[in-house]
Amino acid sequence: MLERLMVGIIGATGVVGQNYIKLLRNHPWFQVTDVAASSRSAGKTYKEAVRNKWQISTNIPENIKNLIVRDVYDIDSLDPQIKFVFSAISLPNKEVVKELEFNYARKGIPVISNNSAHRWTPDVPMIIPEINPDHINVIPIQQQNRGFSKGFVAVKPNCSIQSFMAPIYSLQKAGYKVNKLIVSTLQAVSGAGYPGVASLDMIDNIVPFIEGEEEKSEFEPLKILGSIGDKGIINNDSIKISATCTRVPVLDGHTACVNIKFQDKRPSKDEIIDIWRSFRAIPQELSLPYAPEQPIIYLDNENRPQPKKDRDNDKGMAVTVGRLRKDQVFDYKFVALSHNTIRGAAGGAILNAELLLKKGFI
C-alpha cells in the first residue's frame, strides 16, 4: 500500500491498548492517529494519560506521545478520515461495551474488537483467520439486521483457546474429526491485565481458577467451528470440550495441555506432525503482514514448548506444539503454547483487520 490507513484505538490507555500501539508502530498498512479512553484521560496528551501505567518495554512512539486522548463516548469528534477502530475498551459492564461498539458501527465505523462482549452475539463474527475466515461473510447479515451502512463489529476469541484451536482445526481439515477434548491451561499473569493478580497471590503459587475462562475455553471453539445461517453463526456442537484454567507465575505465554479423542479414524503420530508442519491458510496465502509464515511449529524436544523460549516464535503469532504422544484414556495428548498478549490479543486483532481490508470489508 502506498499510503497507510488512519486508524483509531478505543481503550488506548489500558494494557491491550498499549500493546496495539507497540505492534502498530511500524505497520505497513495502518497508522494510529486517534486514541480514545475514559473521561478521566480525555483531554490529556497520551503520554500524560499513561504516565504511571505504561507497561510496555519500549518507549511510547514519538508520533503517539502528544496525541490528545479523545473521550471514547464522543464519537462525533472522531476524525472522518479514520477508516476503522481497534477496540481495547475494558469495562465491567459488558452491555455498556456492546452498545458502545455498536454505536461506532452505527456511525459507519468498523470496529475490530478485542473485547469479549460481542463474542456470543450471533451476527458478530469471532475470527481466527487461519480457521474461519469465511465468517466475515456474516457482516452483511449484521449490517442488514441492525441498519448499519459501512460499520460493523468483528471480534477475536479469548486468549485461552489460541494455543490449541489451530492444531485441532488442522486435524479436522485433514479429515480426522475430533470428538472430545480435555484441556488444562496454564495462563500467564499478563492475561489478567494491570494491575492484575496481586503478587502475594502469584509468587510461589498457582491459582486454580480464572473467572469465566473455562466457559470461554469450552464454548467459543463451537462458534469458531460453526457455519453461517440466515441470522448469524450456527454453533458446531459435534465436539465436547472439558477445560480447567489456571493462573501461573509466568509473565507472557499461555500453555495448554490437551487430550484428544477422534470420532472414528485415528491418524498416526507421524501423520499428525506432518499435518501440523504443513498447515497453511488464507493469511499465509495472502501474505498478510502479521501472519506467521508457519502457523503451527512442532518441536521434537521432549521438554518443549516453554513460554520463556517459545512464546515469541514468528513475531509471537505462531502456535508452538510439542510432546505429542499416545494417551491411555483418549487417543493422543500434546502441549501447545501461544503468546497471549500478541496472538491472543492485539496481534490477533491486527491480523483480523488485515484480512478484512484485503477482503474488501474495510
Provide the 3-class DSSP secondary structure of residue 52.
Answer: coil
The pLDDT value given to residue 90: 86
Per-residue pLDDT at 2: 63
Nearest to 253, CA basis, from 190, 178, 334, 169? 190
Q: What is the DSSP string of 225-287?
A: T-EE-SSSEEP--S-EEEEEEEE-S-SS-EEEEEEEEESS----HHHHHHHHHH---HHHHTT
Q: Per residue in 106-121, pLDDT tens?
A: 999 999 999 999 999 9
Place of cell 514468528: 314
Q: What is the mean pLDDT of residues 200-208?
A: 95
CB atoms within 10 A of CB 113: 27
Q: What are phi and psi for residue 190, nearest 5 degrees?
A: -65, -20
254 is catalytic: yes
Tens digits of per-residue pLDDT, 163-198?
A: 999 999 999 999 999 999 999 999 999 999 888 899
Is the pLDDT confidence value at 128 over 90? Answer: yes
The single residue of 27, 159, 245, 339 carrying the catalytic annotation is 159
Reported confidence tier of residue 88, pLDDT bands at 50, 70, 90: very high
**Average pLDDT, stretch 76-84?**
96
DSSP string of 71-118? ETT-GGGS-TT--EEEE----S-HHHHHHHHHHHHHTT--EEE--STT
Helix (H, G, I), strand (E, B) or coil at 197: coil
Q: Alpha carbon 281 to chain centroid distance?
A: 17
Q: Which three cell numbers stand for residue 47?
A: 503520554
Bridge partners of residue 185, in order along the sequence: 245, 256
- CB burial class (10 A; 0-12, 13-18, 19+) of residue 115? buried
- pLDDT of 203 > 90? The answer is yes
Encode pLDDT of 240-289 as tens digits. 999 999 999 999 999 999 999 999 999 999 999 999 999 999 999 999 99
Residue whose C-alpha cell reads 471514547 in the numeric block: 72
Helix (H) or strand (E) holding 298: strand 296-298
Average pLDDT over residues 336-350: 97
Q: What is the mean pLDDT of the chain?
A: 96
Distances 196 to 27, 104, 259 between C-alpha atoms, Å:
29, 28, 30
CA-to-CA distance for 61 and 257, rounded, in angstroms? 37
Task: Report helix angle 213-224 to 162-173, nearest 10.
Answer: 30
Q: How far apart are CA 347 and CA 342, in angstroms?
A: 4
Threshold 0.75, pTM exceeds: yes
Q: Would you list the domain boundaries of the chain?
A: 5-158+346-358, 160-339
For residue 350, the tally of other CB atoms under 10 A from its CB is 27
Q: In this predicted model, what pLDDT tens digit does every residue of 9-59 receive, in sequence order? A: 999 999 999 999 999 999 999 999 999 999 999 999 999 999 989 999 899
Is 245 labeled as catalytic in the residue annotation?
Answer: no
What is 160-339's CATH superfamily?
Answer: Dihydrodipicolinate Reductase; domain 2 (3.30.360.10)
Q: Which of 69, 14, 23 is nearest to 352 (CA)?
A: 23
Beta strand extents in 11-83 (DSSP E only): 30-37, 70-71
The reported pLDDT for the residue numbered 43 is: 96
d(CA 35, CA 10): 6
Q: If you average pLDDT over residues 323-351, what whole number do you get?
A: 97
Which of the listed CATH numbers 3.30.1110.20, 2.30.30.110, 3.40.50.720, 3.30.465.10 matches domain 5-158+346-358? 3.40.50.720
Residues linked to residue 45 through DSSP beta bridges, in sequence order: 68
Given pLDDT bands bounded at 50, 70 and 90, which one contains residue 91? confident
The three cell numbers of residue 287 are 501474505
User: How many Cα atoms within 13 Å fall on the side-chain side of residue 207?
Assistant: 19
- In whole angstroms, what is the distance from residue 41 CA to residue 260 CA? 47
pLDDT at residue 92, as a whole number: 84
How confident is the model over 327-333, as a mean pLDDT?
98
Residues 250/189, Cβ–Cβ less than 8 Å = yes
